[in-house]
Amino acid sequence: MSVLSLKDVHITYHTASGGVPAVRGVNLEVAKGEVLGLAGESGCGKSTIAAAILRLLPGTTKVEGSITLDGEDVLAMKPGRLRAVRWTGASIVFQGAMHALNPVQRVGDQIGEAITVHNQAGEREARVRVGALLEQVGLPTRRAMDFPHELSGGQKQRVMIAMALACNPSLVIADEPTTALDVMVQAQVLRLMKELQRDLGLSMVFITHDLSVLVETSDRLAIMYAGKVVEEGSAATVFHDPKHPYTAALAAAFPEIGDRRFRGNPTGLGGDPPDPQEIPSGCPFHPRCSVAFADCERTVPELYPAGEGRRAACLLVEGAKTVATGVSE
């Protein structure tokens, strides 16, 4: 049974200028012990999904579809049950720990709060557990007495990870956990997360815009664009043999040293992601696509089968034609 299951999820923000459809029909599954990588540019809806899983979106946001966590329907939960499930069912490692930690509260207290709020331990035992958690993420236990501003970026992120593990959740959602960090620190934190996931057998949703990171850490990948999933499959195959032009462009934007495809061919992706209130007709990617053709403007592609355990939302796949990856032969 899957730990997390999203079926036909639509999420629309309410703003002064009208409704903004951030997520437009997404289906995702995360099996137990599996790491699902969720990739895409800013504004594609991936962070929205993360927040939606624990119902953390603003009250005026419309969430339709079904979100099931450990077999329970999250959207139907009563407030009391929701609060109990938060952090114990699923927890989030937030991006930008600089702002995700309360500046006037000691970090140990903040981690401990997660434990005591769920009545998993009394004050004293909680403190012991906090110490153990800090050690688990590679921080000395005395750091518990520090305030967030006394820690470096990497240390704060480790605190966030420790906090996320505090209640032994079934699922950990990492929302761009390393984006705001230096490259060296990024590598350390990623290594830590990989170890923890392996040692603890965590199920994870790893959200980022950096595809190369996902290849290292995920079992399966789902690529999002303009509020929809445009490709999914196992991490290695999606990255090295992308079936959707967008995936190809994303992969190409983060060249790997040694991979011959990138030699002498720096490629990026021109243009900007579409404004959610003004999504192009047909395939939303067609204005930026290097292999778009006439039909692309008229037909909205579904997720067509594109190989073993893979799907891609591209008309070229539907026609079983080979996809030009945009890199000259």
Partner 1 sequence: MGTRGYILKKVFQAFLTLLAVIVFNFFLFRILPADPVDILTRGAGAKLDDAEKAELRASYGLDKPLFPGQFMDFMGDTLRGDLGQSIIQRPGEDVTAIFGEFMWPTFLLVGVSTVLSTVIGIFMGIYAGWRRNGKFDLFSMGFSLVLYSMPEFWLGMLLILLFSTTLGWFPSSGRATVGGVYTGTAAVADIVNHLFLPALTLTLAYLGEYYLVMRSSLLDVLGEDYITTARAKGVREKWVLRRHAVRNALLPTITLIALSFGFVLGGAITVEVVFGYKGLGGLTYVALQNRDFPLLQGIFLISSATVIAMNLVADLIYGYFDPRVREA
Partner 2 sequence: MQSPPITPGGDPNLTGDRMPESLPELRSPRRIRRARRRRAHTTIWKEYRKSKMGMAGLLILVFFVAVAIFAVFSSKDGLDPTKVFGPRLAPPSLKYPLGTDNFGVSVLTQVIQGSKISLLVGLVASVMTITIGALIGIVAGYRGGAYDTLLMRFTDFGLVVPWLALAIILASIIGPSLVTIILVIGLTSWPSTARLVRSQVLSVRERPYVERARALGGGNWHMIGHHVLPNVMPVILANAVLVVAIAILSETALSFLGLGDPFSFSWGGVIESAFNGHATTLGAWWWIAPPGICIVLVVLSFTMIGFALDEIINPRLRER
Task: Give, rounded to a whole angstrom, the gap between the first and last alpha carbons of the chain.
Answer: 43
Distances (CA, A) of 222 to 214, 234, 246, 271, 278: 10, 9, 12, 22, 23
Contacting residues for 101 by C-beta, under 8 A, at least 6 apart = 107, 110, 148, 156, 159, 160
Q: Which does residue 238 touch among partner 2, partner 1, none (CB within 5 to 8 A, set by kind)? A: none
Minimum gap (Å) between residue 173 Cβ and partner 1? 9
Q: Which does residue 159 touch among partner 1, partner 2, none (CB within 5 to 8 A, set by kind)? A: none
Minimum gap (Å) between residue 7 Cβ and partner 2? 20
58 part of the interface to partner 2, by CB under 8 A: yes
Q: Which does residue 17 touch among partner 2, partner 1, none (CB within 5 to 8 A, set by kind)? A: partner 2
- CA 165, CA 195: separation in Å to the nearest integer? 13
Per-residue contact string for residues 5-44; x = within reach of partner 1 by CB under 8 A: ----------------------------------------
Tokens found for residue 91: 């927890």
56 part of the interface to partner 1, by CB under 8 A: yes
DSSP tag of 55: T
Q: For residues 89 and 274, which CB has a smaller minimum distance to partner 2 in the complex?
A: 274
Q: Which does residue 131 touch among partner 2, partner 1, none (CB within 5 to 8 A, set by kind)? A: none
User: Pick from 20, 180, 253, 279: which binds partner 2 (CB under 8 A)?
Assistant: 20
Minimum gap (Å) between residue 46 Cβ and partner 1? 16
Task: Classify burial at 208, counting beta carbons within 10 Å of its beta carbon; exposed 0-12, middle 13-18, buried 19 or more.
Answer: buried
The answer to whether the beta carbons of residues 91 and 169 sit under 8 Å apart is: yes
Q: Which does residue 303 touch among partner 2, partner 1, none (CB within 5 to 8 A, set by kind)? A: none
User: Pick from 2, 9, 35, 47: which binds partner 2 (CB under 8 A)?
Assistant: 47
Minimum gap (Å) between residue 273 Cβ and partner 2? 10
The partner residues of 13 in beta bridges, in order of sequence, read 20
* Part in contact with partner 2 (CB under 8 A); list of ranges 14-22, 145-153, 162-170, 293-301: 14-22
Site residues for partner 2, 99-128, by CB under 8 A, read 100
Contacting residues for 117 by C-beta, under 8 A, at least 6 apart = 87
67 part of the interface to partner 2, by CB under 8 A: no
DSSP tag of 203: E
251 part of the interface to partner 2, by CB under 8 A: no
Q: For residues 152 and 265, which CB has a smaller minimum distance to partner 1 in the complex?
A: 152
Tokens found for residue 180: 């705001």
Site residues for partner 2, 166-225, by CB under 8 A, read 175-176
- CA 46, CA 31: separation in Å to the nearest integer? 18
51 part of the interface to partner 2, by CB under 8 A: yes
DSSP tag of 110: H
99: nearest Cα among 162, 48, 161, 149: 149
Q: In 207-266, where does DSSP find H-type helix?
A: 211-217, 235-240, 245-253
Per-residue contact string for residues 72-91; x = within reach of partner 1 by CB under 8 A: -----------xxxxxx--x
What residues make contact with partner 2 under the rule CB under 8 A?
Answer: 13, 15-17, 20, 22, 43, 47-48, 50-52, 56-58, 92, 94-96, 100, 175-176, 275-278
